[in-house]
Amino acid sequence: MEKILQVKNLELSFNTQAGEVKAIRGVNFDLNKGETLAIVGESGSGKSVTTKSIMRLLPEQSAEFKNGEILFGGRDLTKLSDKEMQKIRGKEISMIFQDPMTSLNPTMPIGRQLTEPLLKHQKISKTEAKKVAIDLLRLVGMPKPELRMKQYPHQFSGGQRQRIVIAISLACNPKILIADEPTTALDVTIQAQILELMKDLQKKIDTSIIFITHDLGVVANVADRVAVMYGGKIVEIGTVDDVFYNPQHPYTWGLLSSMPSLDTEDAKLYAIPGTPPDLLDPPKGDAFALRSEYALKIDMEQNPPFFKVSETHSAATWLLHPDAPQVEPPLTVIERMKKFPGSRYYEGGAV
Amino acid sequence: MAKYIGKRLIYMVITLALIATFTFFLMKILPGSPVASADKLSPEQRAVVEARYGLDKPLPVQYFDYMFGLVQGDLGISINQFKGADVTDVILSRMGPSAQIGFQGMVLGTVLGILLGMIAALRQNTWVDYTSTFVAIVGISIPSFVFASLLQYWFGLKWDLFPVALWNDGFMSSVLPSVALAMFPLATAARFIRTEMIEVLGSDYITLAKAKGASGSEIAFKHAFRNALIPLITVLGPMAVAILTGSLVVEQIFAIPGIGEQFVKSIMVNDFAIIMGTTIFFSVFLIVIILLVDILYGVIDPRIRLSGGKN
Is residue B70 a part of any domain in this protein?
no
CA B56 – CA B58 distance, rounded (Å): 7
Q: What is the CATH number of the domain that holds B207?
A: 1.10.3720.10
Closest in A95, A102, A121 to B203, CB measured: A102
Amino acid identity, residue A253?
Answer: W
Sign of the CA dihedral running A214, A220, A225, A226: positive
Is residue B213 a part of any domain in this protein?
yes
CB contact under 8 A, A168 and B208: yes
CA distance A199 to chain B (A): 21
CA A139 – CA B283 distance, rounded (Å): 55
CA B311 – CA A151 distance, rounded (Å): 10
Closest in A117, A154, A165 to B213, CB measured: A117
On the question of pLDDT at B311 being above 60, the answer is: no
Is residue B122 a part of any domain in this protein?
yes
- What is the pLDDT at residue B199? 93
Closest CA to A152 of B53, B302, B57, B88: B302
- What is the pLDDT at residue A240? 93
Minimum Cα–Cα distance from B302: chain A residue? A107
B206-219 tens-digit pLDDT: 999 999 999 988 99
DSSP string for residues in A206-269? T-EEEEEES-HHHHHHH-SEEEEEETTEEEEEEEHHHHHHS--SHHHHHHHHTS--TT--SSSP
Q: Which residues of B touch A154 (CB under 8 A)?
A: 302-303
Segments forming the whole domain that contains residue B130: 89-270
Chain A contact residues (CB < 8 Å to B)? 55, 57, 82-83, 86-91, 94-95, 97, 99, 102-108, 116-117, 120-121, 152, 154, 165, 168-169
Is residue B277 a part of any domain in this protein?
no
Is residue B281 a part of any domain in this protein?
no
Is residue B187 a part of any domain in this protein?
yes
Mean pLDDT across A332-339: 85
A30-55 tens-digit pLDDT: 999 999 999 998 888 899 999 999 99
Beta bridge partners of A55: none
CA B82 – CA B79 distance, rounded (Å): 7
On the question of pLDDT at B308 being above 50, the answer is: no
CA A149 – CA A127 distance, rounded (Å): 13
Question: Where would I find the H helices in B216-271?
Answer: 216-218, 225-253, 259-268
Task: Name every residue whose Cβ is closer than 8 Å to that of residue B139 and which is 6 or more positions away in sequence.
Answer: B183, B184, B186, B187, B188, B190
Amino acid identity, residue B156?
Answer: G
Counted domains in chain B: 1
Is residue B298 a part of any domain in this protein?
no
Is residue B97 a part of any domain in this protein?
yes
Closest in B204, B211, B227 to A89, CB measured: B211
- What is the pLDDT at residue B310? 42
On the question of pLDDT at B64 being above 70, the answer is: yes
CB contact under 8 A, B214 and A120: yes
Closest CA to A195 of A10, A22, A36: A36
Sign of the CA dihedral running A72, A76, A78, A80: negative
CA distance B2 to chain A (A): 21
Q: Does B305 touch chain A (CB under 8 A)?
A: no
A88-144 tens-digit pLDDT: 999 999 999 888 889 999 999 999 999 999 999 998 999 999 999 999 999 888 999
On the question of pLDDT at B196 being above 90, the answer is: yes
- What is the pLDDT at residue A115? 95
Task: Name every residue whose Cβ is closer than 8 Å to that of residue B173 and which is 6 or more positions away in sequence.
Answer: B162, B163, B166, B167, B254, B256
Mean pLDDT across B11-29: 91
Minimum Cα–Cα distance from B208: chain A residue? A103
Closest in B204, B213, B216 to A103, CB measured: B204
Determine the length of chain A.
Answer: 351
Give me chain B's average pLDDT, please. Answer: 85
A203-253 tens-digit pLDDT: 888 899 999 998 888 898 889 999 999 999 999 999 999 999 999 999 999
Amino acid identity, residue B22?
Answer: F
